[in-house]
Chains A and B, each alone.
Chain A
């Protein structure tokens, strides 16, 4: 069966520090991968998605970036965090068909102080 992992589970970082969140998927190959951010009490905002290694589409301009160095690995980064970057970051995957539901990871709670 397929599983999706995210780490760390929680993170507290000072403003201006760098960020690296990692997401890995097991049990599938060539998945579509997604990064979402969820502010407290709000819906999910799509940040990036990737349909293959090295292929990144950005949905929202911001100081975050994403990379996909391996087929089942998706990384969310920032060089300098802002207070507004605080939130719940969710990674998701689905199969090649665009009619497949997305499966979400457990999320990373990021607090920028």
Chain B
């Protein structure tokens, strides 16, 4: 099946700093989503971005499907940004209709 690798595994920032999270995938994808899992365990949709660039406030994301990677940018980080960030994809090939394969996540800690 498709492999999804995220880096870095852990990231510690001071409030106000910027960061870039990376997601590499091993095959072509139909769907790529970024999620934030908060300390209560909820998975919050950040971006649906199989290709191109999107921005939402302090967050933006870029997916270069031909090179099989996606980047999530967080600017002016806040303590509430802490949590785990997951990248998840659906494989364009085979018969895996719609199922998301997740990366291992990046654990982000933002200190005041």
- Say if A and B assemble together: no
Interface residues of A (CB under 8 A from B): none
